[in-house]
Amino acid sequence: MAIRSEPVAAEALRRRGRRELAPGRLGLVMNLPTLLTMALVLAYPIGYAAWLSFHRVGPAQLRRGEFPWTGLDNYVRLFNDPLFILSLKNTFIFVAIVVVVEIVLAVAIGLLINQQRIWTSRITRVLILLPYAIPPIANGLIWSFLYSFQFGFLNRILFTLGVIDQPINWAGHPETALYAVTVPYIWRTLPFAVLLVHAALQGIGTELHEAAAVDGASTWQRFRHITLPLLLPIIVVILVLRTSFAFTVFEEIRAITQGGPGDATWVAAWYSYKKAFEPPNDIGLGAASAWVLALIVGALAIVYVKTIYRRVV
């Protein structure tokens, strides 16, 4: 291609300069739709939630459109409510189980689908994505069918295999219900963790492994001293992300146990939802509890942004 002569290019720039916005202004115009939508749906509600949590907001106040100031009353009631404390405790247990199990499974399955010479690994690699597509509420309902005491699919499998002779009430016992709801959540959120591990593994060359094998290192030693240290950064990422997302679990609880049996599976998001959107619609209290949840997750988010996420540009 012929190289343009300078005057022509300069002329093009000059002509265009007249009708073109300055970069700063162009940037602002191009970001206007995003900024407006994010302000309406994200920024404003976050602030408004904080504001609501200091006011009395119930059905009567909503009708009148006036929210009387109550100071810290919602927070005082919140932390004096044994149900809220229990919900927080249950949430912590739920998160701890989910995060630990998910990291172990993600590393194991990540290594498994990385096996190029094993043909079944290719099938796993395709199917691992499947749970990501399932609507969480449908996932919950499917697992409540699996867990069903009378008609459940899980009991049927165990009967057919001859493992049990009495049906098991998987999600119906107060001592075990919380553990039962971790499984569907882990099932649904596993693909994300596995894919992150899988991507990290592809960055690890074979040279180190081959050199270590020549020196007589066993498979376990190679995993322990080569693969695991190199996977550590991505494990930390999964740890922070999954911890913050699992804190807000809602759909599986809603579909499988609705907080029950008794109050064995009340978690933080369920508490906020029940208080705000079911009679007597204590929206102020709901907002306060949702803000406590946001603060816990926000602290993790700040750790993530400050220390783990590498700047895009």
Partner 1 sequence: MLAPTPFGRVLLHLANLLVIAFLLLPIAAVTLGSLQAEKTLQADTRALLPPEWTLDNFRVILSGGEQRGAIFEQVTYLPDNVKKIRYAFTNSTVIALSVTFATLAMGSLSAWTIARLGYRWTRWLVNASLLARFVPVITLMIPLYVAFRHLGLLNSVVGVIIALTGFLLPYAILILAPYFDQIPKELEDAARIDGCSRFGAFLRVSLPLAAPALASCGALVFIISWNELLIPLILVNKAEFMTVPVVINSLVGDVHVFFNLMMAICLLALLPSVILVLLLQKFVVAGLQVGGVKG
Within residues 81-110, the interface with partner 1 by CB under 8 A covers 108-109
Under the binding rule (CB under 8 A), the answer on residue 196 touching partner 1 is yes
- Give burial (CB, 10 Å; 0-12/13-18/19+) of 235: middle
Alpha helices per DSSP H over 114-165:
119-127, 130-133, 136-147, 153-161
The tokens for 202 are: 């592809």
* Burial of 304 per CB tally in 10 Å (0-12, 13-18, 19+): middle
Of these, 74, 87, 155, 265, which contacts partner 1 (CB under 8 A)? Answer: 155
265 binds partner 1 (CB under 8 A): no
* Contact range with partner 1 by CB under 8 A, out of 34-42, 86-94, 96-104, 171-179: 34-42
Residue 282: alpha-carbon gap to chain centroid: 27
Window contacting partner 1 (CB under 8 A); options: 37-45, 69-77, 92-100, 170-178: 37-45
Site mask, partner 1, residues 199-228, x = CB under 8 A? x------x--xx--x-----x---------
User: 178 or 197: whose CB is closer to partner 1?
Assistant: 197
Q: Which of residues 45-74 bind partner 1 (CB under 8 A)?
A: 45-46, 48-49, 52, 57, 62, 65
For the bound state, the minimum distance from the C-beta of residue 301 to partner 1, rounded and expressed in Å, comes to 4
Q: Of 70-78, 80-88, 169-177, 268-276, which part binds partner 1 (CB under 8 A)?
A: 268-276
Q: Which is nearer to partner 1, 86 or 294 (CB)?
A: 294
The stretch among 69-77, 82-90, 94-102, 270-278 that binds partner 1 (CB under 8 A) is 270-278
80 lies in the site for partner 1, by CB under 8 A: no
Closest among 47, 37, 55, 83 to 291, alpha carbons compared: 47
SS3 169: coil
The number of residues making up the chain comes to: 313
CB of 191 to partner 1, least distance (A): 7
* Cα–Cα distance for residue pair 65/59, rounded to 1 Å: 10
Contact pattern for partner 1 over residues 110 through 139, marking x by CB under 8 A = --x-xxxxx-xx-xx-xxxxxxxxxxxxxx
Dihedral, CA of residue 173, residue 175, residue 180 and residue 182, to nearest 10: 150
Q: Is 55 or 178 the residue whose CB approaches partner 1 more closely?
A: 55
97 contact partners, CB below 8 Å, separation of at least 6 = 179, 182
- Pick 178 or 259: Cβ nearer partner 1: 259
Q: Rounding to the nearest 10 degrees, give the CA dihedral for residues 142, 148, 154, 156.
A: -120
